[in-house]
Amino acid sequence: MSPVRFIFLSSFIVAITSQCFHDDDKSAVCVNQGYTSMPTTFKRNIIILSLSHNSISAISRNEAKLYLQVTQVDLSYNEIASCQEIKRGLFAWKHLKILNLSENRLLQIDFQECFPTHLEELDISNNMNVFIKNTSGNFYRMTKISARNNNMSYLPLNAFKGFPNLKTLDLTNNAFTELSFEITIIMPNLINLYLKGNPIKNLDSSLLYISDLDDLKRKDKLARKQNTGVTTTHLPNFLENEKHTKSTQNSNDAVNETIRNDTTTNTNRNKKSEENGNFTSNDSNDKEKNTLNNSGLYISLYISILLGEVFFLTFII
């Protein structure tokens, strides 16, 4: 290589580096610079690294170890075709929280094999015919995954088994026709499920009401009203039946009240009769007692007279 050409290439490299945007000493944003590998000229303490719109296909562990403080990495619009080519570099970043791999050439994704478990947000949108494998990893910090425009038609039930705290799952513009309701069991904290642009005709209500499928929500509400019969058309009959039921109940209550009153009256009468019977019995007893007392008195008087006569005759003799 001639000296002139060498000087030209050196100047070109310097020019590329000088075009990188630095907000401060903590970030390096080098977009559309033609990089085919990780640059080594950035400051070692950066925490934000953006290398989108380049031609990077791999990241080695040694390259990644130059920037061990990074928490956000943007590798979108590059030439990454396999997780095997970048996983060594990704696992070297112990503080990595947000990773953007959209607009690459990824075909198969195994979360446990490809990504460190301390990730919090991941974007794998706009890749090719992506197939997500089952995973057994524990991504307990992950709260958001974007997998838009990946032509996915099948999602293994255990694909997100290791994401208990996932809150947002974006599957917009794929080829899903159905999803298992067990997703909400595997990911109990899921609150945002984006499914627009998928040919889904039916969806379990546990998924439907956290999704953005407004048309299906309206259809589901209408179907529920029709199934329960509580619609505008049937409402008057429903109210009439309720009115008839209440009227019948009131009539029964009135009859029961009358029976209770009659029973109470008869009970009171019986009590009075018993009381009168007691009074009559008491009078009879009193009369009998008086009769006996009078009889005893007459007998005593008679005996006294007899004794007097006997005493008188004795005295005369």
Rounded mean pLDDT of 139-159?
Answer: 92
In a domain, 35, yes or no: yes
pLDDT of 84 strictly over 80: yes
Instruction: Write the CA distances from 114 to 2, 84, 144, integer angstroms.
Output: 43, 7, 16
pLDDT at site 154 = 87
Identify the band that residue 196 occupies on the pLDDT scale cut at 50, 70 and 90. Answer: very high
In a domain, 258, yes or no: no
Identify the band that residue 186 occupies on the pLDDT scale cut at 50, 70 and 90. Answer: confident
Rounded distance between C-alpha atoms, residue 94 and residue 141, angstroms: 13
Rounded distance between C-alpha atoms, residue 26 and residue 107, angstroms: 33
Instruction: Write the CA distances from 14 to 5, 17, 25, 53, integer angstroms.
Output: 14, 5, 19, 19
CB count in 10 Å sphere of residue 217 = 15
Rounded distance between C-alpha atoms, residue 117 and residue 204, angstroms: 30
pLDDT at site 209 = 81
Model pLDDT for residues 293-317, shown as the tens digit of each residue: 555 555 666 666 666 655 555 545 4
Domain that holds residue 149: 18-228
CB count in 10 Å sphere of residue 11 = 10
CATH number of the CATH domain containing 63: 3.80.10.10
Which residue, among 149, 24, 127, has the nearest Cα to 78 in the 3D structure?
127
Name which residue leads in pLDDT, 144 or 261: 144
Which H or E run contains 208? Answer: helix 205-208
Instruction: Write the CA distances from 69 to 61, 65, 105, 123, 274, integer angstroms.
Output: 14, 9, 27, 20, 103
In a domain, 233, yes or no: no
Instruction: Judge contact between 210 and 179, C-beta under 8 A.
Output: no
In a domain, 159, yes or no: yes
In a domain, 302, yes or no: no
In a domain, 54, yes or no: yes
pLDDT at site 137 = 78
Name which residue leads in pLDDT, 81 or 246: 81
Question: CB neighbours of 58 closer than 8 A, spacing ≥ 6?
Answer: 37, 80, 85, 86, 89
Name which residue leads in pLDDT, 43 or 8: 43
- DSSP annotation of 84 reads G
Q: pLDDT exceeding 90 applies to what percent of the chain?
A: 44
pLDDT at site 23 = 60
Instruction: Judge contact between 157 and 179, C-beta under 8 A.
Output: no
Q: How many structural domains are present in the chain?
A: 1
Q: Which two tokens stand for residue 118?
A: 């301390």
pLDDT of 93 strictly over 60: yes
Q: Name which of 70-84, 223-237, 298-312 the model is least confident about.
A: 223-237
Strands (E), the chain: 27-29, 48-50, 72-74, 98-100, 108-109, 121-123, 131-132, 144-146, 168-170, 192-194
The alpha carbon of residue 225 and the mean position of all alpha carbons in its chain are separated, in whole angstroms, by 23
pLDDT at site 128 = 81
Model pLDDT for residues 248-276, shown as the tens digit of each residue: 455 556 545 655 665 555 555 555 545 55
Identify the band that residue 227 occupies on the pLDDT scale cut at 50, 70 and 90. Answer: confident
pTM of the predicted structure, to 2 decimals: 0.64
In a domain, 122, yes or no: yes
- Angle at 49 (CA atoms; ends 30, 79), nearest 5 degrees: 65
Task: Find the Cα–Cα–Cα–Cα dihedral 245, 251, 252, 256, rounded to 10°.
Answer: 160
In a domain, 71, yes or no: yes
